[in-house]
Structure 1
Amino acid sequence: MYCLQSITLCSLVLFCMSSLSPASASAVHHQNAPSAHTVNGTYTGLTLNTFNQEAFYGIPFATPPLGDLRLRYPVPFNQSWTGTRNATVRSDSCPGFDKPFAQGFADGLTMGEDCLTLDIVRPANVQPGDNLPVFFWIYGGGFKAGGSADPRYNTSFMVRNSMQMRKPIIAVVPNYRTSAFGLLASREVAAAGVGNIALFDQRQAMKWVSENIHAFGGDPSKVTIAGESAGGSSAGYQLVAFEGKNDGLFRSAILESSSLLGASMNTVETLNVTYQGWYDNITTTVGCNTAADSLACLRTVPYQKLFSAVNGFQFKPYIDGKFISQPPSVSIAKGQIADVALIMGSNTDEGTAEFFTPRGTLNNDSDISSLVAHLGGGLNASVVANILRLYPDDPIRGCPFGTGPERFADQGFQYKRGAAITGDVNIHAGRRAYAVNHSQRSKHPIYTYRFNQAPWNMQEVDVTTTAPVFVTHFTEIVHVFDNPDKNVNWIGPYPIISELAAFVSRSWVSFIHDQNPNNHGLEGKPVWPKYNTSDPQNIVFRAGASWVEKDDWRQEQLAYWSTLWSEIMT
């Protein structure tokens, strides 16, 4: 059953199939199961009859990070065998913490430390030598939680689109360590040289793909890395990693609702006043604070005890001098960034996400001043005054945009003012700044977008469900994956929105396959132009009425943030 005629009707059928388990109506294991001969040995996967696809789940790309390998960089998977190994069951997701700290990105996931695996979905009957382009998805979740098993990232619908377009792709989704297991930071971590483990996990998964994806029918020279939120930031950090040396691991990237610019980053020197206290709390809680080597001690703590101790501490990537040698703004200015084709975009109302803008506390000028003054490493009074001038207390100009004089005052009398500021500094300003830079220096195209379709029911579970929501963070994800399943972020029952999802997803597939998002095969859609500083344009995705716009909204405001990257520590 292909469900080609009606996506909304299909969703009622596909809801019955579990995205978390291969033992579902869509997955069949039999004597003629697909196989692939990797460097290590042969894997046997599953046939997904519903989609006419094949899947390989839980393939290790690194040695399990257990025992003394905990809190260390990933070690390449070096086992070999004769015969075959089953790749029919997903591994545990890497440890991450759940609500109220992580907006639920660990919901429904079975977690454990033996998690450094990846999942592959491909069209049926693909053979080595077919050389299909590869979609390499890095999940988000604030670097706090996430996993390849999250049903929102079911790649079968996107791969099915690629098959219908006659532009077949292979999808790969790796797990990587989040929370303190992947991003622990302190002077002890810095001294041991094991910072940013999560980013090294992602890199190791890319290396595995480079060495092995040919066995699955993929082309290692045609990999597109992609992600949203923390996943998009991860893709951005991969661009500047090792001063822009990507060793041919990917030819293009897609950064959704994220940026190389805007997210404040610690340095080794600032760890003492940021993450050190968290590290000390953790080591004290588990009894490692008196050990001669507290980091070595943490490797001996029982998993559940350590998991409980780190729960709630939100570590993020920092400038470790190894993977990331300098602020991304400096890397961009120096041109020390991987030169690849790009899609980069944002959602109109990013600032309404609950983790960007505080609710119920922004009621007057003093509250807004405090919010702005604490951005990055701290902004001085003159800068704060300029920002307040650029973002006056005028609800008509506030976020969610286009909602007129409504203040949503129950969330704070000046909430919309604050949401406009946080959305711009965290996402929008960096997107435009890098689009301009890339289009001026690169030989490869960059395509930018503004996603402008609110969820059908004004609910974006795990991001914000309290009004105002509108076109908030994460809203585009269900469209990119064209996923009609009734999971917590459902496309909804309206055909016009399902049509938008098909357009967005097919545009992504076209870019992955051709480095051009316009070969989607749909009629009556606007042509998405390459970004050009002489006439900068975005495509705007909206149900029933997508269009191309001049990228000049909030020109003065976004330009001002670009003068502050060093102060914001990005």
Structure 2
Amino acid sequence: MSPGYVPGAGHHQAEMFWRNVSTAVGCDGGHLDCMRGVGFEKLSSAASDVEGKYDYQLQPRVDGDFVGDTYEAQLYHNRFNFTGPPVITHEKHENNSQAWPGVSTTDDVVGRLLELYPESDYSSPGLRFADMKQSFDMTAHDYALTRALGNQTWNGMSYYWYSTYSLSGNGTTSGFGSSTPIDTSVARKMQKYLLSFVHTGNPNTMWPNDKIYWPKYGSNATQIVFNSTIQLEKDDLANAKSEYWNEALWY
């Protein structure tokens, strides 16, 4: 599941959204007594206007009651009640295939990140930063969930987009959603893993002779890779980049 824009650490963005909406409806400071007196149409209009201007993702937010804290923080402190079974995947180039706007010089990225994302690996500073942002927003979070659940998860990486058959390039220079013709063989196998998991809680149970066995992450950090072929390899999340972001954000 992808929520679109993925909030970073803490509650800063959500707080600023609340402040902007409350100010727009005449409740400077965002006090609840004032906000409860605002009509629904006025409040809805203000929220939609602020969301459109600031690219804010409307989704459940931390309130200290129904949602006690950000899900990453809850995972790292083992404050969750979930026993199973999960499949965790990420797209290889979901957010790092286009250079990030406004990042045009090496001076825009600093410190430890320069070591983790060496300049020689990228054709432009924008692509360098885009890969950092993908690690921060997406892949590091998958690694957090895997660790919180004791590595008893099925992990995967896909070069395919959400339709499950559009193949993105192996490099990091293609545009969003670039594709090649449908590979029906790979698409069917991907769907068989998904349907098997939905029906049985295990992606391997159904049609075992039609696809390779998908092991759990375990101590070997194994993941399945969906590309023009399907194979197993060591998880690309278990690296210094993911560990750095998790340490910086939550430990």
**Pairing of 1:99-118 with structure 2 (within 5 A):** none
Aligned to 1:416: 127
Any idea what the Cα deviations from partners look like across 1:134-161, whole Å, max 9, x if unmatched?
xxxxxxxxxxxxxxxxxxxxxxxxxxxx
Question: Distance in 1 between the 2:104 and 2:47 partners?
Answer: 38
Q: Which residue of 2 aligns with 1:299?
A: 40
The reply on whether 1:516 has 2:223 as its aligned counterpart is no
**2:20 partner letter:** W
Structure 1 residues 535 and 456: alpha-carbon distance in aligned structure 2, compared to 1, 3 A threshold? closer
1:528 corresponding residue in structure 2: 214
Query: Which structure has greater strand proportion?
Result: 1
For the 8 Å contact 2:215–2:223, the answer to whether it is kept is yes
Shift in alpha-carbon separation, 1:309–1:432, aligned structure 2, 3 A: closer
Q: Deviations over 1:37-86 (max 9, x none)?
A: xxxxxxxxxxxxxxxxxxxxxxxxxxxxxxxxxxxxxxxxxxxxxxxxxx
Q: Structure 1 264/317 Cα, relative in aligned 2: closer, same or farther at 3 Å?
A: farther
1:264 offset after TM fit, Å?
2.8
**TM-score normalised to the size of structure 2?**
0.77
Structure 2 residue aligned with 1:565: 249
Note the 1:62-141 alignment, pairs <5 A: none
Residue of structure 1 in register with 2:223 after alignment: 538
CA contact (8 A) 1:267 1:318 kept: no
Q: Tell me how far apart the structure 2 counterparts of residues 319 and 420 of structure 1 sit (CA, whole Å).
A: 27
RMSD of aligned Cα (Å)? 3.6
Equivalence for 1:341? 85
Instruction: Provide closer, same or farther for how the CA distance between residues 334 and 550 of structure 1 changes in structure 2, counting only shifts above 3 A.
Output: same
Residue 2 of structure 2: aligned partner: 229
d(CA) in 2 for partners of 1:316 and 1:297?
Answer: 21
Distance 1:453 1:300 in 2: 41
The correspondence of residues 196-211 of structure 1 with structure 2, limited to 5 A, is none
- Match of 1:362, SS state, is coil
Q: Shift in Å at residue 520 of structure 1?
A: 3.9
Residues in 2 aligned to 1:435 and 1:457: alpha-carbon distance in whole angstroms: 26
Paired residues of 1:282 and 1:309 also in contact (CA < 8 A) = no
Following TM superposition, by how much is the alpha carbon of 1:566 offset from its aligned partner in structure 2, in angstroms? 3.4
The residue that corresponds to 1:322 in the other structure is 65
Residue identity over aligned pairs, in percent, reads 18
The 8 Å contact of residues 449 and 540 in structure 1, kept in 2 or not, is answered as yes
Aligned to 1:250: none
For 1:302 and 1:551, locate their aligned partners in 2 and report how far apart those are by CA, in whole Å: 45
Match in the other structure for 2:108:
367
Q: Please tell me the residue identity of whatever aligns with 1:279.
A: V
Question: Which structure would you say has the larger Rg?
Answer: 1
Distance 1:504 1:280, change over 3 A: same
Deviation track 1:444-480 (CA, whole Å, cap 9, x = no partner) reads: x410100024675869xxxxxxx623xx6xx6xxxxx
Which residue of the partner structure matches residue 350 of structure 1?
94
Distance (Å, rounded) in 1 between the aligned partners of 2:17 and 2:243: 31
Cross-structure match for 1:264: 9
Paired residue for 2:174?
A: 468
1:342–1:439 CA distance, 2 compared to 1 (3 A): same
Task: Check 1:566–1:302 CA distance in 2 against 1; reply closer, same or farther (3 A cut).
Answer: closer
Q: 1:438 is matched by which residue type in structure 2?
A: L
- Measured after TM superposition, the shift of residue 564 of structure 1 is 1.2
Q: Provide the residue aligned with 2:233 in structure 1.
A: 549
What pairs with 1:139-154 in structure 2 (closer than 5 Å)? Answer: none
1:310–1:329 CA distance, 2 compared to 1 (3 A): closer
Q: CA deviation at 1:556?
A: 1.6
Give the gaps of 5 or more residues in structure 1. Answer: 1-227, 234-257, 370-384, 399-406, 408-412, 460-466, 476-488
The match for 2:137 among 408, 416, 426 is 426
Q: For 1:353 and 1:298, locate their aligned partners in 2 and report how far apart those are by CA, in whole Å.
A: 43
Q: Is the 8 A contact 1:362 1:414 kept in 2?
A: yes
Deviation of 1:388 (Å): 1.9
Change (3 A) 1:388 1:514: same
Question: How much does 1:341 deviate?
Answer: 0.9
Alpha-carbon distance between aligned partners in 1 of 2:187 and 2:93, rounded to the nearest angstrom: 19
Distance in structure 2 (CA, Å) of the matches to 1:316 and 1:343: 22
Partners of 2:59 and 2:142 lie apart in 1 by: 20
DSSP 3-state at the match of 2:90: strand
Kindly state the Cα deviation for residue 331 of structure 1 after the two structures are TM-superposed.
1.9
Cα 1:528–1:278 change in 2 (3 A) is same
Structure 2 CA distance for partners of 1:387 and 1:554, relative to 1, 3 Å: farther
Please say if residues 391 and 421 of structure 1, whose CA atoms lie closer than 8 Å, have aligned partners that are also in contact: yes
Aligned to 1:283: 25
Question: Which AA in structure 2 matches 1:549?
Answer: E
Residues 393/352 of structure 1: CA separation in 2 closer, same or farther (3 Å cut): same
- CA distance in structure 2 between the partners assigned to 1:348 and 1:560 by the alignment: 19
Q: As a proportion of its length, which structure holds more helix?
A: 2
Distance between the aligned counterparts of 2:167 and 2:226, measured in 1? 18
Residues 444-523 of structure 1: pairs in structure 2 closer than 5 A: 445-453=152-160, 456=166, 468-469=174-175, 493-494=181-182, 497-521=183-207, 523=209
Specify whether residues 419 and 554 from structure 1 end up closer, same or farther in structure 2 by C-alpha distance, changes over 3 A only: farther
Higher RCO structure, 1 or 2 (CA under 8 Å, sep 6+) = 2
What CA distance in whole angstroms lies between the structure 1 residues aligned with 2:240 and 2:41?
53
CA distance, structure 2, for counterparts of residue 351 and residue 388 of structure 1:
19
